[in-house]
Chain A
Amino acid sequence: MKKFDKERALLAVAGPVIALVAAILLTSVVLIASGKNPFEPYRLMLEQAGFSDIQVLIVNQASMYYLAALAVAIGFRMNLFNIGVDGQYRLAAMITAVVGAHVALPSALQIPFLLIIGALTGAFWSGIAGVLKVTRGVSEVVATIMLNSIATSLIGYLTLSDNFGVQVGNNMTTGEMKESGWVPGIDLGPEVGEIYGLVFLAIAMGVVYWIVLNRTRFGFDLRATGASETAAAASGVDAKRMVLTAMLISGAVAGLSGLPLLLGDAHTYSLSFPTGLGFTGITIALLGRNNPVGIAFAALLVAFLDKASPALDYAVPVAYEKEIATIMQGLIVFAVVIAYEAVRQWGLRRQQKRVGAELAAAAATNDSAQKEVAAR
């Protein structure tokens, strides 16, 4: 019965669409309340998206968002809330930068080596929360939040000039990385910019994510644990090991999420390295419903808001505050949570009713046959 499949697909799309429309309308309400034109900013931002240099920025930013959101989604799929993606990402980027500045292997080895360093650092940091949860029952939410701020202090300490820090002008960096660790990008000319080479890593991770979750025993166990912990345990899933594994994988992916920028452009970890990536990742994972394709769209959307909004400040004749995009992001989170739950419940009820109706119809047509079965 393919129509149930089709219906599920329709419901999966309905949630995000409703959420986005609601978020846009609410943003317009905010604009009206502050006496602004409620539609002009959207037009200005869409216009920005037409420029190819902005498009490159969006794609580059989206690749990092995508990895961060995958990291969050892995946790979500089994009801683990890894809020620590941000700390894992920053620490991993910093350690990778330091290693990349001190180790010089040939490119073919250096790049995979750095990727592994990033993943391991992220996994190590999230693993702390995993071990705490499994052995002491500490909520991963609390542990990862704490680890975020510990990561901040740790990075501050490690980047002191006594340790690995290198002062460049006003900025404290970790020193320039060896060139063999730089990942070449796709150069689209000086006017347009360069697409990070590791954008393809992000795409590959999306494919791997889908395959592992949907086509492997491990993925099934992980999803089962997320869907019903009790049923998963009864089916033979070792809950503790599952928690730890999921945390480690989530952290490893989080550790990769800063590398497109680090290896593709910045080549050093500095004070100006972006923060908050992990938190945006949560929004994106929510909006994308933990689905690799959905997350890709969501990542592009949020990257678009980020990269197209600065132009609002300089719009002629009327300038708008670029924070409109931030407001919109916040509203998206609200709308997403509410709309998805509503759509989910509505869908479940609807399917129950339809299955009931179909069975009743089937029963009506071969009533006599069924009576025999019942009487046997």
Chain B
Amino acid sequence: MHALVGENGAGKSTLMKILYGMQKPDEGTITVGGEQVTFAGPADAIARGIGMVHQHFMLADNLTVLENVVLGSEKLHGIGGGARKKILEISERYGLNVRPDALVEDLGVADRQRVEILKVLYRGARTLILDEPTAVLVPQEVDALFDNLRELKSEGLSVIFISHKLGEVLSVADDITVIRRGTTVGTAVPAETTPRQLAELMVGSELPTPETAESTVTDRPVLTVDKLRLEAEGGRAVLDDITFTIHAGEVLGLAGVEGNGQTELIEALIGLKHADSGTISLGEEEITPWPTRRRREHGVGYIPEDRHRHGLLLEAPLWENRILGHVTERPNAKGFWLDPKSAQADTRRIVEEYDVRTPGIDVTAASLSGGNQQKLIVGREMSHQPKFLIAAHPTRGVDVGAQAQIWDQIREARREGLAVLLISADLDELIGLSDTLRVIYNGRLVADADPATITPEELGSAMTGAASGHLEHHESGEDQAR
């Protein structure tokens, strides 16, 4: 089992695409089983026994597992009894526990992933490539996945898996290759490596740490959320009884496994979804019924978790992206009219001050790297003197230099009295930047903790629902998360 680690944009996915024949190498060779090969497309790779499980599953929701597996490989074992027998046999052999007649739309994420793996095995793969397989799973599911992978390994198959969760990599891989900016920068043997060493290899420098210095928390509440409840269609609560206050100069960190209501909370705060009950207040004013635009005009800044979907117009030039979200405010508009000149001038200022690496402000947002896109977004949001900032995964997919800058900017704004809701999957970032920590689980705030004393492990156990209430740091360290 070979792990490939590297930052976002380091070239992991490109390398995998080349191995799977989706992209052609300009130079160099690939050798499979001692034989040099060239792939014209994925079909060649499959013929050589290489299979890929993509990060985003490629399954047809309205078909059954059996139908999905045979789709495109009808010739192998037919589409009826033969295929079913084969699927059950593979499922049995590797402990995949797949039901051939279940509809894919009824399956959870982990089950779908197993179907993807089975699909690849069904096509006769001897080498499996998994692209960030654990990104979508909760910890228990991750363990189950690793059990499956060990099973595959013991049957003599090879597994290449891509990840940037270093703990995982160290616990499961036999060998690690680290790449950075498109080249191999090192290899590591898990038994002799610590996560920190690996991380430093990955980013190529001493790791910056997100430490906040002295507390700047005041007693002036900026954002008050009271008994907020949000229902999905059908009346199931996706957020329930959410109550918290963020003061001026305070960073409230929200920890939680993805999919526990963070997205919905952000949407309720920014006004994309409206609360079914409960209230949201900004300063003295209740803003619960306000539409998004009014909230933003009144000082709610937003660094979205998915910048491509929510933060940028990818095919528009940078200066138009600078207008996005603040089209009614200066310098972007004068009354009813846009003011492109001022917007462009201000975009140049942002590019300069926030160190957005770009040859100009007329290039499309899509041509910038993720880190530079994020710096542009941060610059834009900070330029409108927000009172309250929603920062969702502000440094996700951002290189280390940019990461440190973004942390600095959040810290600086906090000193000037900004209230921040920080949502992040990076527990070090959460603990390092936050003044207060809350844990969200299943749509509820289940625990709180003091970031000065808490460890990522203790926080992790609350994120899985194993602990609740006020989390105290125990010197003995009840390592529930591991």
Q: Name the segment of A235-243, A268-276, A318-326 touching the other chain.
A: A235-243
Q: How far is the CA of A375 from the CA of B359 in the complex (A)?
A: 23
Question: CB distance A351 to B312 under 8 Å?
Answer: no
Residue of B nearest to A359 (CB): B357
Asked if B287 CB lies within 8 Å of chain A CBs, one says no
Q: Name the segment of B75-83, B116-124, B289-297 touching the other chain.
A: B289-297
Number of chain A interface residues as a range = 35 or more
Of listed A215, A358, A374, A376, residue having the most chain B CB within 10 A:
A374
Partner of A374, one of B295, B311, B317, B400: B400
Known contacts A228-B313, A231-B310; is A220 also within 8 Å of B323 by CB? yes
Known contacts A231-B324, A234-B272; is A224 also within 8 Å of B293 by CB? no
Residues of B within 8 A of A358 (CB): 359
Residues of A within 8 A of B304 (CB): 234
Asked if A233 CB lies within 8 Å of chain B CBs, one says yes
Residues of B within 8 A of A223 (CB): 316
Question: CB distance B338 to A214 under 8 Å?
Answer: yes
Q: How far is the CA of A351 from the CA of B338 in the complex (A)?
A: 27
Asked if B73 CB lies within 8 Å of chain A CBs, one says no
Question: CB distance B401 to A374 under 8 Å?
Answer: yes
Asked if B364 CB lies within 8 Å of chain A CBs, one says yes
> Nearest-CB distance from B172 to chain A (Å)?
31
Residues of B within 8 A of A2 (CB): 362
Asked if B160 CB lies within 8 Å of chain A CBs, one says no
Q: How far is the CA of A223 from the CA of B317 in the complex (A)?
A: 13
Residues of B within 8 A of A232 (CB): 324
Q: How far is the CA of A227 from the CA of B359 in the complex (A)?
A: 23
Asked if B409 CB lies within 8 Å of chain A CBs, one says no
Asked if B215 CB lies within 8 Å of chain A CBs, one says no
Asked if B189 CB lies within 8 Å of chain A CBs, one says no
Q: How far is the CA of A220 from the CA of B317 in the complex (A)?
A: 13
> Nearest-CB distance from B26 to chain A (Å)?
13
> Nearest-CB distance from A102 to chain B (Å)?
37
Asked if A153 CB lies within 8 Å of chain B CBs, one says no
Question: CB distance A224 to B324 under 8 Å?
Answer: yes
Asked if A32 CB lies within 8 Å of chain B CBs, one says no
Known contacts A216-B338, A224-B313, A231-B310; is A355 also within 8 Å of B327 by CB? no
Residue of B nearest to A241 (CB): B291
Residue of B nearest to A230 (CB): B309
> Nearest-CB distance from B318 to chain A (Å)?
10
B residues 349-406 near A (Cβ < 8 Å) are 355, 357-364, 366-368, 400-401, 404
Known contacts A221-B327, A352-B367, A376-B404; is A237 also within 8 Å of B293 by CB? yes
Asked if B446 CB lies within 8 Å of chain A CBs, one says no
Question: CB distance B366 to A234 under 8 Å?
Answer: no
Residue of B nearest to A5 (CB): B362
Q: How far is the CA of A94 from the CA of B295 in the complex (A)?
A: 46
Q: How far is the CA of A228 from the CA of B314 in the complex (A)?
A: 8
Number of chain B interface residues as a range = 35 or more
Q: How far is the CA of A348 from the CA of B272 in the complex (A)?
A: 30
Residue of B nearest to A8 (CB): B362
Complex interface bits, B279-323 against A, C-beta within 8 A gives 1, otherwise 0 = 000000000000111111100001010000111111111001001
Asked if B90 CB lies within 8 Å of chain A CBs, one says no
Question: CB distance A234 to B313 under 8 Å?
Answer: no
Main secondary structure on A side of the interface with B: helix
A residues 2-24 near B (Cβ < 8 Å) are 2, 4-5, 8
Known contacts A238-B291, A355-B359; is A217 also within 8 Å of B337 by CB? yes
Asked if B64 CB lies within 8 Å of chain A CBs, one says no
Known contacts A217-B338, A231-B313, A352-B367; is A236 also within 8 Å of B360 by CB? no
> Nearest-CB distance from A228 to chain B (Å)?
5
Complex interface bits, A120-150 against B, C-beta within 8 A gives 1, otherwise 0 = 0000000000000000000000000000000
Question: CB distance B293 to A238 under 8 Å?
Answer: yes
Q: How far is the CA of A359 from the CA of B315 in the complex (A)?
A: 19
Q: How far is the CA of A4 from the CA of B326 in the complex (A)?
A: 25
Question: CB distance A217 to B333 under 8 Å?
Answer: yes
Question: CB distance A351 to B401 under 8 Å?
Answer: no
Question: CB distance A1 to B363 under 8 Å?
Answer: yes
Q: How far is the CA of A5 from the CA of B361 in the complex (A)?
A: 10
Question: CB distance A348 to B336 under 8 Å?
Answer: no
Residues of B within 8 A of A220 (CB): 320, 323, 327, 338
* B residues with CB within 8 A of A: 205, 270-272, 291-297, 302, 304, 309-317, 320, 323-328, 333, 336-338, 340, 355, 357-364, 366-368, 400-401, 404
Known: A4-B363, A358-B359. 8 other contacts (CB 8 A): A4-B359, A215-B337, A217-B337, A235-B327, A236-B271, A236-B325, A236-B328, A355-B358
Cross-chain pairs A/B with CB under 8 angstroms, 28 sampled: A1-B360, A1-B361, A1-B362, A4-B360, A4-B362, A5-B362, A215-B337, A216-B336, A217-B328, A217-B338, A220-B320, A220-B327, A231-B309, A231-B311, A232-B324, A234-B292, A234-B310, A234-B311, A236-B325, A238-B291, A238-B293, A348-B367, A351-B366, A354-B367, A356-B367, A373-B401, A374-B400, A375-B205
